[in-house]
A and B are shown apart, each in its own frame.
Chain A
Amino acid sequence: MLSNMLGSKNMTEKDWNNLLDTALPDVEKEMDASPFDTKLSFNMADDARKVINENLNIKDFHKKYHSKLLKEFGEEVGQDFASGADEPAQETDGVKWGMVIDLRKCVGCDTCTVSCKAENRTPPGISYNVVLEQEIGDFPNVAKVNLPRPCMQCEKPSCVQVCPTRATYKLKNGIVTIDNDRCIGCRYCIVACPYGARSFDFGESYEDEMPGYNDVTSPEYGIERGERKPGKTPIGTVRKCNFCLHRLERGEEPACVETCVGDARFFGDLNDPNSTVSKLSKSPRAFRLKSDLGNGPNVIYLK
């Protein structure tokens, strides 16, 4: 019937409004019928729109309605609505570190891989970051795709799920870390990681090609371990990218981000809606690797 009507005559704005009025319930009537304050609900809805459009501060919004909500809904619901007087300044949501990698900017130079190895002084066979290079298409329509792959610092990491000793765990800031002093080296996490982002430290060394390599180790997770010796942690345990946590703690970006020649990597707080990474992560170009697995990677790619 509706399609008939649409087909038979040109609808004016008035017709549309009429159609809506008949289809939608009357909000005022609905609210009156409810046990709640009609006026309060309308005012709150208006102000909430203002908050969304950034015409009103969320704190002022809370302050304005705190007492009214307490009266309307009682302690249980009203409590959640901060009074604004003694606001615990953003205690709940700290930073959540995330990375955005623009694949159109990546030239496949492997600088990230090299700088990562230099920064973390990873032994032979271990690269926290690698760049997967692939040629797609048939000649002459070929293209090269470079895919840098650090650890995804997943929201729900498989490695943390399977670790028998809780040696690998997620920090509040979103980084998945390893307690190398607890790790028993069972390598279940390597098997379970869908991104191949974990490596086992077999104890190899560059000492032969690079005298003095063993003398200094990277202060991963802020722990200074001194000389690299056989049988000494982290040898015999699992290692992984940790977004250069030791650099973050002194206010520096991860080494791969800092050195990227094409400026393809962005780093920041995904909890902050105004950060570059947050904005880029909402781009239509944004995608995550193996998103169907449900791990929720915090490394986002732009295609």
Chain B
Amino acid sequence: MATTAVAAPSARVKAKQSKRFKIWIGFLFLLLIAGGYFIVERLVQGLPVTNLSSITPWGAWIAFYIFFVGLSAGSFLLSTLIYVFGMMEYERIGRMALFTAIVCMIVALTFVLMDLGRPERMLNAIIYWNVTSPLAWEVHFYLVYIALLTTELYIAMREDLVRLAGTASLKGKVAKWLTFKNSTITESTKKRDHKWMKILGTIGIPLAILGVHGGTGTIFAVVQARPSWNTGLFPVIFVVSAMVSGTALLLAMYIIKKKATKQKIDHGMVVSLAKMMVGFLFIDLGLQFYEYLVGVYGLEHHHLEGLGTMMGSAYSWSFWGVQMFLGAAIPIFLVFNKKTGTNVNALLTAAILIVIGIIGVRFNIVVPAQIVPLFEGLPAGDYFPTFNEWMVSVGIAAMGLLIYTFGEQLLPIEEIQSSEKTEG
């Protein structure tokens, strides 16, 4: 399919693309600077710039933190479908998935850093590791996970790096530096790389499921004081919703990038990824159904109040509107409708809506459980992020997108072979 494309993009198209790229970078920098102002404000003034309180101590930044950890775990697990389970039809997005996973982890950890009352003491969680604390375990898991992702991405890119090392472009220079000059590609290195991809991916699966994302769910699930978190199913839902959001994000990124650079879209892969995304969404909804059913059936006062806050209070727009309608009902319709199910634009909309829906899911996890008072007589929480919290979040997200965009400029994240073919 790629070979049938136009022989070489004309200079006009290229100029247009580079202009578009500049606008994109400029836009991201603008967001980063705007967000940066509020990040500085937060660092100077401390947490009073947020709407957090001792009643609702965790807010938007924690929600975004678990959202990005979920995106990371989801993208990584998708990459294992390719490198461990050999589903080569998705190979096009393999490195993109790995690189996205790394960037999302960086973003997630930045959110945690913003949220700490004493960011300068962050290393204490490593120095004074409390082995009974899920949060301390998570910090360690995240670091190991990022190291593993980086190694895996390097191996996945190695052949292309070696190929690029000879060229004079910026990518070539970076490649030369990264390949230690003397690297070669032979049958044996191919075999070795393939083997290591499989090994690292296999180690990564339990690490991502149990350690990184299941573990992040565990941070919440072990809290006995908040019954709506305190269930065994909770970490499982975390992992499944990570798969949902990870698949949706990669699908959206793939389509947007191909559209922006006017490259051919692999239609078959898009449709199949969309089906997989909705498949994960169905499992997620099923698990949530049981979670809520068991919670309601227990008639435990505190648990009922937690669910009531989520589904039937001033906060319920986030559950019904964002999580259920935008994030589930519409995407399911778009994917299964005969007309829209094969339309790339409709599937792109579905993927973006699912990503937004999962943001809603994360907020609905974090906030409502902290609104319900721990005792009758204690004041109920009241939380909505301040302008500062939103802007800091925008700034951090822009930072992530910038890292991704520059990374793609410097590293062979996209398959070279296919792009070479496109360029004839």
Contact = CB atoms under 8 A, between A and B. Distances in A.
Contacts of A198: 54
A234 to B, nearest CB: 10
A149 B223 contact: no
A236 B117 CA distance: 4
- Which residue among B46, B116, B219 has the maximum number of chain A CB atoms within 10 Å of its CB? B46
B117 A196 contact: no
A182 B46 CA distance: 17
B323 interface: no
A212 to B, nearest CB: 22
B219 A188 contact: yes
A158 B225 contact: yes
A211 interface: no
Interface stretch (A22-30, A93-101, A199-207, A277-285): A199-207
Contacts, number: 135
B376 A134 contact: yes
A183 B375 CA distance: 26
Contacts of A105: none
A195 interface: yes
Contacts of A132: 375-378
B55 A196 contact: yes
B222 interface: yes
Contact of A202 (B46, B370, B375): B46
B134 A162 contact: yes
Given A147-B377, A236-B117, A126 B54 contact: yes
B135 A164 contact: yes
B130 interface: yes
B224 interface: yes
A303 interface: no
B257 interface: no
A191 B46 contact: no
Contact of B130 (A130, A149, A165, A194): A165
A204 B378 contact: no
A184 interface: yes
B203 to A, nearest CB: 24
B224 A158 contact: yes
A227 B139 CA distance: 34
B53 interface: yes
A164 B133 CA distance: 5
Interface in A226-240: 230-231, 235-238
Contacts of A192: 222-225
Contacts of B135: 162, 164, 186, 188
Contact residues on A (Cβ < 8 Å of other chain), bracket: 35 or more
A163 B46 contact: no
A41 interface: no
A193 interface: yes
- Which residue among B119, B121, B129, B139 has the maximum number of chain A CB atoms within 10 Å of its CB? B121
Interface in B119-147: 119, 121-122, 124-125, 127-130, 132-136, 139
A183 B223 contact: no
A134 B118 CA distance: 37
Interface in A172-193: 182-188, 190-193
A190 B58 CA distance: 9
B159 interface: no
B133 A188 contact: yes
Contacts of A186: 112, 115-117, 125, 135
Contact of B139 (A158, A164, A203, A236): A164
Nearest to A130: B378
A125 B54 contact: yes
B247 to A, nearest CB: 30
B219 to A, nearest CB: 7
A190 B57 contact: yes
A167 interface: yes
A293 interface: yes
Given A158-B223, A196-B378, 13 more contacts: A125-B53, A134-B376, A162-B134, A165-B136, A166-B130, A184-B122, A186-B125, A187-B58, A194-B224, A201-B117, A203-B48, A204-B48, A231-B46
17 contacts: A125-B53, A134-B376, A183-B117, A183-B118, A184-B116, A184-B117, A184-B119, A185-B121, A186-B115, A186-B117, A191-B225, A193-B374, A200-B53, A201-B117, A202-B46, A235-B46, A293-B225
Interface of A: 125-126, 130, 132-134, 147, 149, 158, 160-167, 182-188, 190-196, 198-204, 230-231, 235-238, 289, 293
